[in-house]
């Protein structure tokens, strides 16, 4: 007998009565499963909850043998219950016993039951339990019955989260007072000592079941209007209105707030009898559970935005609009959160914010881009600290090593304090070198440039004393924009970059998306090997209108000044010729319409595909300059994905094979008189940069923070002696020259 359409509301009303009774936690659970069974007209209702070890324990049942309660434990992924917990979605089976995942437990007595339906008990997108019902007859449960179970499971999850509902060993973790260390992935590499601030402690929804459905709907509408209004106001706030690319991030955030699908799901949750707060929580849980299991990074980025919106909406509904960002922050705040949207990070006082720790999110997510622009220590994919941290805990965030130390020992604090003081002294030394040229002891001049990609990066040009921007990644504007940037938007950004650079050169890399650089509005499709797929110049030549729009914007932005354009991912000479023809076509169009032309237009090639190593004599005479993209060139050379932790460090860039390939490029550029720069991680590491100079490189491009250390190394180096020694070493067959180069630096007094 299927449940009626009003089943969820009826069940919720009766559930509220049960929760109001003054009985033990177990007695309350026992009454709840009886209530659900009678409402669904099921012979069995069981509740399983996840324990610390990941197993699922039978906590209460109506219909199964009572002796099985607390004695039946399912390992992660075991049985139909484990399957539901793992996939975090409802499942039903007309004949459960014949399903391959069925796990028979004799103590339960469930062998006489055939039909089965189970729903996950979700909290924050994580499965904390499974709620099931069973019947002897083989039957299909209706959508209304499944919906009633899902709504009830959501209410149970909130009751568990509010505390005092179940035993501590199931619902909470014991707080610790000892030092603990957690690993994460660096976002920006620096060190911060400070105290923990919890980012927006979760609003505990205590009023779950609606008394007046119309009133709840009105409350939700008012809160959504207030939410969208606050986002609009944030967009117009003075500093953010001028924030360049960050404004594009916030535009995407505002788009999600107006998403009709999100609002429709909220309305459907209200219809089941939930309060406005509970409806927001229900939709957030369901969305997280679905998107957390999607491999596509586009969905994960959207998940973070929805989390941000949900948190803000819950605070508006609860009347508690004070966030950690709005309160009195400690002078040395290290903010820790499961996830965070870019708008939320920009809410914090930048003078008090020292660090950011995220449990979720990619190193190239929207919030990561903002964190790097703010220059704070930050790591992501740091699992576990939220389970044990308390606000105000002392912490050390080592974003260089990707480590968070909670409640550090005095010895650890002393060690890191010394490290911070040492870094400060070194930085002062580097700052003193800002206006000093990078010249070796034997008078070889080395150009030092910075890599950039945001308007916020431009102050680093003067601060670091760099000679120019050797690589401006134009794709970042496309990655953080919700739609393809219009011609005028691109022109405005490029003009701002050129203006900020003044008389220093800027090398703009044409659009390099695809591979690990996802752009949501490009339909690239799934690729088995995306790094080797449809990306960069390949996409540009196949979609010439996109490429020409960017070239037109760059040409207009120069307004009579020099323009340097670098073409990425060139694998064959014909690709360069075809791209050059498209650029020449735009130049002719510019002249035809009387637009100011660049005073000088230089077109270069990025050497990052190994195939070009055997075409240097063909392509170098055609280009005005060349840049080596060492990151991609070496990963392709070794067939080792630099994003795969199992193989990324398997091959050393200071191995003879890698250095011989790099030397081949340097000699080819010298032969044809082509200016050559190397931009990539190698350029910013002192030992690797030293090796590059020994190979003949006289221009490097790196992160701004690396300029000082590399310049200090150069000014203590005799390039001719190094070149002779390196040529000798490259005649050998060592697996790596790293130790030999360190030995050379030690004996020669080179500052590494």
Task: State the CATH architecture for 205-322.
Answer: Orthogonal Bundle (1.10)
Q: Chain-centre distance of CA 567, in angstroms?
A: 27
Whole-prediction pTM value? 0.60
- Per-residue pLDDT band at 494 (split at 50, 70, 90): very high
pLDDT in tens, 30-85: 999 999 898 888 999 999 998 877 899 999 999 999 999 999 999 989 999 999 99
Residue 696 has a CB neighbour count (10 Å cut-off) of: 18
pLDDT tens across 100-137, in order? 999 989 899 888 999 999 999 988 677 889 999 999 99
pLDDT over threshold 50, residue 168 = no
Q: Which two tokens stand for residue 679?
A: 């931009």
Q: What is the pLDDT of residue 161?
A: 66
Q: Average pLDDT, stretch 534-551?
A: 90
Instruction: Supply the pLDDT for residue 644.
Output: 63
Predicted confidence (pLDDT) per residue in 703-726, tens digit: 887 899 999 999 999 999 999 999
Q: Which of 138, 132, 131, 98 is nearest to 115 (CA)?
A: 138
In CATH terms, the fold of domain 179-200+328-427 is Glucose Oxidase; domain 1 (3.50.30)
The more confidently predicted of residues 319 and 713 is 713
Listed in sequence order, the residues at least 6 apart from 528 whose beta carbon sits closer than 8 Å to its beta carbon are none
Domain with CATH 1.10.274.10 in the chain: 205-322
Instruction: Pinpoint the residues of the chain covered by CATH 3.30.450.40.
Output: 7-167
> 51-60, 235-244, 246-255: which has the minimum mean pLDDT?
235-244
Query: 198 pairs with which residues across the strands?
Result: 336
Split at pLDDT 50, 70, 90, the class of 325 is low
Percent of the chain with pLDDT over 90: 41
pLDDT over 50 (residue 551): yes
Nearest to 308 by CA among 370, 355, 395: 370
Q: Which is the catalytic residue, given 45, 199, 304, 679? A: 679
Q: Which of 166, 167, 77, 152 is nearest to 122 (CA)?
A: 152
| CA 44 – CA 61 distance, rounded (Å) | 7
Name the architecture of domain 433-748: Alpha-Beta Barrel (3.20)
In this predicted structure, what is the pLDDT of residue 521?
63
The dihedrals phi and psi of 30, each to the nearest 5 degrees, come to: -60, -40
pLDDT grade for 604, boundaries at 50, 70 and 90: very high
* DSSP-assigned states of every residue in 541-604: HHSHHHHHHHHHHHHHHHTTSEEEEEE-S--SHHHHHHHHHHHHHHHHHHHHTTPPPPSEEEEE
Look at residue 296 and tell me whether its pLDDT is greater than 90: no
Give the model's pLDDT for residue 202.
Answer: 56
pLDDT at 617 over 70: yes
108: left (phi over 0), alpha (psi -120 to 50) or beta: alpha
- Binned at pLDDT 50, 70 and 90, residue 419 comes out as confident
In angstroms and rounded to an integer, the radius of gyration of the C-alpha atoms of the chain is 30
- Please choose, from the candidates 587, 582, 573, the residue with its C-alpha nearest in 3D space to the C-alpha of residue 542: 582
Taking the alpha carbons at both ends of the chain, their separation in whole angstroms is: 77
What was the pLDDT predicted at 360? 76
pLDDT of residue 179: 80
Known catalytic residue: 366? yes
Amino acid 65: pLDDT: 93
Given the candidates 3.40.50.1370, 3.40.1400.10, 3.30.450.40, 3.10.20.30, the CATH classification of the domain at 7-167 is 3.30.450.40
User: Which stretch of DSSP H or E encloses residue 185?
Assistant: strand 185-188
pLDDT band at residue 555 using 50, 70 and 90 as cut-offs: very high
Maximum mean pLDDT: which of 76-80, 302-306, 336-340, 658-662: 658-662
Q: Is the pLDDT of residue 313 over 60?
A: yes
- Read off the pLDDT of residues 180-203 as tens digits, 9 standing for 90 and up: 899 998 887 788 899 999 886 656
Q: What is the structure's pLDDT at 579?
A: 96
pLDDT at residue 518 above 70?
Answer: no
Q: Is 228 helix (H, G, I), strand (E, B) or coil?
A: helix
Residues written for the chain? 752
- pLDDT bin (cut points 50, 70, 90) of residue 459 is confident
- pLDDT for the residue numbered 303: 64
CATH 3.50.30.10 residue window(s) in the chain: 179-200+328-427
Out of 366, 382, 405, 460, which one is annotated catalytic?
A: 366
To the query of whether residue 45 is one of the catalytic residues in this protein, the response is no
């Amino acid at each position: 007998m299927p449940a009626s359409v009003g089943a969820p509301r009826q069940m919720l009303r009766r559930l509220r009565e049960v929760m109001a009774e003054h009985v033990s936690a177990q007695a309350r659970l026992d009454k709840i499963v009886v209530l659900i069974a009678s409402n669904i007209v099921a012979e069995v209702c069981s509740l399983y909850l996840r324990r610390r070890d990941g197993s699922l324990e039978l906590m209460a049942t109506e219909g199964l043998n009572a002796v099985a309660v607390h004695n039946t434990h399912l390992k992660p992924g075991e049985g139909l219950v484990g399957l539901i917990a793992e996939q975090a979605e409802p499942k039903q089976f007309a004949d459960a016993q014949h399903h391959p995942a069925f796990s028979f437990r004799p103590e339960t007595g469930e062998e006489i039951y055939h039909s089965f339906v189970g729903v996950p008990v979700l909290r924050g997108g994580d499965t904390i339990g499974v709620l099931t019902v069973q019947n002897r007859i083989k039957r299909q449960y209706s959508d209304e019955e499944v919906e009633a179970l899902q709504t009830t499971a959501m209410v149970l999850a909130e009751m568990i989260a509010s505390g005092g509902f179940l035993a501590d060993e199931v619902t909470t973790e014991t707080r610790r007072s000892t030092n603990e260390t957690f690993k994460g992935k660096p976002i920006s590499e620096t060190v911060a000592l400070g105290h923990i601030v919890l980012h927006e402690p979760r609003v505990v929804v205590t009023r779950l079941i609606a008394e007046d459905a119309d009133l709840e709907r009105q409350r939700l509408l008012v809160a959504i209007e207030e939410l969208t209004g606050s986002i609009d106001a944030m967009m117009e706030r003075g500093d953010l209105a001028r924030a360049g690319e960050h404004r594009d991030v916030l535009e995407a955030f505002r788009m999600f707030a107006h998403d009709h699908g999100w609002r429709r799901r909220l309305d459907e949750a209200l219809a089941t009898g939930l309060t406005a707060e509970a409806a927001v929580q229900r939709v957030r849980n369901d969305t997280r559970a679905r998107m957390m299991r999607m491999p596509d990074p586009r969905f994960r980025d959207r998940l973070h935005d929805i989390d941000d919106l949900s948190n803000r909406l819950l605070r508006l509904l609860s009347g508690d609009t004070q966030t950690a960002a709005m309160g009195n922050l400690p002078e040395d705040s290290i903010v820790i959160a499961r996830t965070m949207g870019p708008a939320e990070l920009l809410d914090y006082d930048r003078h008090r914010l020292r660090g950011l720790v995220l449990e979720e999110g990619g190193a190239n997510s929207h919030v990561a881009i903002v964190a790097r622009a703010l220059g704070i220590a930050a790591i992501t994919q740091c699992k576990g600290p939220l389970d044990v941290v308390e606000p105000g805990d002392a912490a050390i965030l080592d974003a260089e090593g990707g480590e968070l130390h909670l409640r550090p020992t005095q010895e650890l604090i002393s060690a890191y304090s010394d490290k911070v003081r040492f870094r400060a002294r070194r930085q002062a030394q580097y700052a003193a070198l800002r206006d000093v040229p990078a010249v070796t002891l034997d008078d070889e001049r080395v150009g030092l440039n910075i890599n950039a990609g945001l308007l916020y990066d431009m102050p680093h040009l003067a601060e670091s004393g760099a000679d120019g921007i050797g690589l401006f990644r134009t794709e970042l504007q496309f990655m953080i924009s919700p739609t393809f940037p219009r011609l005028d938007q691109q022109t405005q950004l490029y003009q701002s970059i050129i203006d900020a650079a003044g008389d220093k050169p800027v090398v703009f890399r044409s659009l390099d998306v695809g591979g690990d650089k996802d752009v949501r509005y490009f339909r690239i499709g799934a690729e088995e090997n995306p790094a080797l797929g449809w990306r960069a110049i390949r996409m540009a030549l196949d979609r010439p209108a996109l490429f020409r729009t960017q070239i037109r914007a760059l040409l207009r932005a120069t307004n009579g000044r020099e323009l340097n354009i670098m073409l990425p991912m060139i694998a064959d000479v014909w690709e360069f010729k075809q791209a050059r023809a498209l650029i020449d076509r735009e130049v002719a169009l510019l002249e035809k319409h009387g637009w100011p032309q660049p005073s000088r237009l230089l077109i270069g090639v990025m050497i990052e595909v190994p195939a070009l190593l055997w075409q240097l004599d063909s392509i170098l005479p055609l280009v005005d300059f060349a840049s080596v993209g060492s990151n991609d060139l070496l990963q392709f050379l070794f067939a080792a994905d630099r994003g795969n932790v199992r193989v990324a460090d398997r091959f050393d860039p200071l191995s003879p094979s890698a250095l011989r390939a790099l030397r081949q490029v340097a000699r080819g550029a010298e032969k044809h008189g082509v200016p050559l720069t190397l931009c990539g991680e190698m350029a910013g590491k002192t030992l690797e940069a030293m090796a590059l100079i020994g190979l003949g490189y006289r221009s490097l491009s790196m992160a701004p923070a690396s300029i000082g250390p590399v310049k200090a190394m150069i000014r203590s180096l005799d390039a001719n002696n190094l070149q002779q020694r390196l040529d000798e070493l490259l005649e050998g067959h060592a697996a790596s020259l790293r130790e030999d180069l360190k030995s050379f630096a030690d004996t020669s007094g080179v500052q590494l």
